[in-house]
Amino acid sequence: MSPPPPIDRFASLRRLAETLAIAASGGAVLGLIGVPAGWLSGSILAVAGASLAGRPMYIPTLLMRAIFVLIGISLGAVVTPETLHGMATYPISIAVLLLAMTVISVVGAGYLQLVHRWSRVDAFLAAAPGGMSQVLTLAIEFGGDLRAIAIVQSIRVVVIAVGLPAGLSLLGLVGQPVARASGTLSIAVLDELAILVAISSVAAIVAHRVRFPGGLLFGAMISSAVLHGTGLIHAVMPWWVTNTAMVAMGAVTGSRFANTSPRLLLNFVAAAFGSFAVAVAISAVFAAVLISLLSVRAGEAMIAFAPGAVDAMMLLALALSLDPVYVGAHHLTRILFVSLTMPLVARWNARSLRIKSEPKPPQKRPPFQD
């Protein structure tokens, strides 16, 4: 038996450099023009287009694991003492939100299974109302169809991020944009960042070693959320680190689009818009019920219940002069709910499907009796 051919490290580095360059270009196009979550979505679209064109896109495993940890730290930084307090002051609204997210997950997954004949795991991950980074991480871990899931999730993020503020503006449900203060890096901030990265990295490694689903991302996210939510850490990852991680994550996802036929891609897009319509319709119904029950502004309820990216929705709340505490509390609840339940349900679905696919052992015939 002949030994395997030697690895061409220079070819791998060239492929990696080309992949990151294409991802950065695509992310910058949408990110710099102000599209929320544009760095991630633009990177996915650019690398996916290159993959469909036949270019060999490549992201090494070690870099991919580091990306998961950085994204988890950034997601955990959304948690603050103010948002935790907001969760306690809106019990009815939070309860309606959790019910809405459950209905969206179940109905959306059922739609994809019944109409588009998707598998149970792929349908559940694609229909998850938020947490695209976590969804893609779980899709990689459970061997899901990453191309299909990424298309459905990306279209949801882009359409909500672009269409929702435009729709609210046309309806006159927003105010004037507010100015945001800019901070500077100091020695104290750098010290906090070092502590944050160290603790979150250890937690991510431990979660990965105990085989927690998506352990690298979820371990870092939970530790970062605890540190920020308790007020022990106030520093957050610099914007350029977060954007770089989003671009690299988009490259990981976009590279999975290789060898996808136009017909298959069209089927994915149809499934994406169908499941998006289901999620938006359900969110609108629950938001309308909430507005009729409580004295909540329509714009705030719609932003709070929109199944979009957390960072994008928070930025929209600030830019549209809506209550960031109310919006942040609801999206924090949504992301925690999705993040904690999604890996468990995905693992249960994968296990149940695996059990059903295993052949049953032949049953022994009972001995003959008179």
Distance separating alpha carbons of residues 336 and 134, to the nearest angstrom: 11
Outline where DSSP puts E strands in the chain.
Answer: none
Q: Give residue 62's pLDDT.
A: 87
Q: Do the beta carbons of residue 80 and residue 228 sit within 8 Å? A: yes
By CB atoms closer than 10 A (0-12, 13-18, 19+), residue 68 is buried
Report the pLDDT value the prediction gives residue 25, as an integer from 0 to 100.
Answer: 94
Answer yes or no: is 364 within a domain. Answer: no
Contact (CB, 8 A) for 94 and 329: yes
Whether 167 is in a domain gets the answer yes
Quick one: average pLDDT of 221-225? Answer: 85
The Cα–Cα gap between 218 and 343 comes to: 10
What is the rounded distance in angstroms from the CA atom of residue 320 to the CA atom of residue 10?
A: 48
Please give the average per-residue pLDDT across 12-33, as a whole number.
89
Cβ proximity of 319 and 85 under 8 Å: no
Contact in structure between 282 and 104 (CB atoms under 8 Å): yes
Nearest to 38 by CA among 48, 26, 47, 49: 26
Residue 369: inside a domain:
no
CA-wise closest residue to 252 among 127, 65, 74: 65
Distance between CA atoms of residues 154 and 273, nearest Å: 11
- The terminus-to-terminus CA distance of the chain in angstroms comes to 60
* Rounded distance between C-alpha atoms, residue 308 and residue 161, angstroms: 7
pLDDT in tens, 314-351: 656 766 677 767 877 787 788 778 877 877 777 776 66
Whether residue 85 lies inside any domain: the answer is yes
Which structure tokens are listed for 195? Answer: 């502590």
For residues 220 and 204, the answer to whether their CB atoms sit within 8 Å is: yes
Structural domain contains residue 155:
yes
Is residue 48 within 8 A of residue 257, CB to CB? The reply is yes
The whole-number pLDDT of residue 140 equals 78
CA distance 100 to 284: 10
57, two tokens = 């896109």
DSSP label at 321?
T
User: What average pLDDT does this structure show over 263-267?
Assistant: 77
DSSP strand E in 5-102: where? none
* Rounded average pLDDT over 212-220: 77
Q: Is residue 363 part of a domain?
A: no
Stated as kind and residue range, the H or E segment containing 24 is helix 9-32
Domain coverage including residue 38:
12-179+200-352
**CA atoms in the 13 A half-sphere facing the CB of 305:** 32
Contact at 8 Å (CB) between 222 and 139?
no
Tokens describing residue 227: 């540190």
- C-alpha distances (whole Å) from 279 to each of 108, 117, 160, 252 are 7, 18, 11, 26
Is residue 186 situated within a structural domain?
A: no
Split into its structural domains, the chain has a count of 1
For the stretch 150-186, pLDDT in tens is 888 877 776 776 677 667 667 666 554 444 434 455 6
Which of 52-66, 119-133, 313-327 bottoms out in mean pLDDT, i.e. has the lowest?
313-327
Residue 194 lies in a domain: no
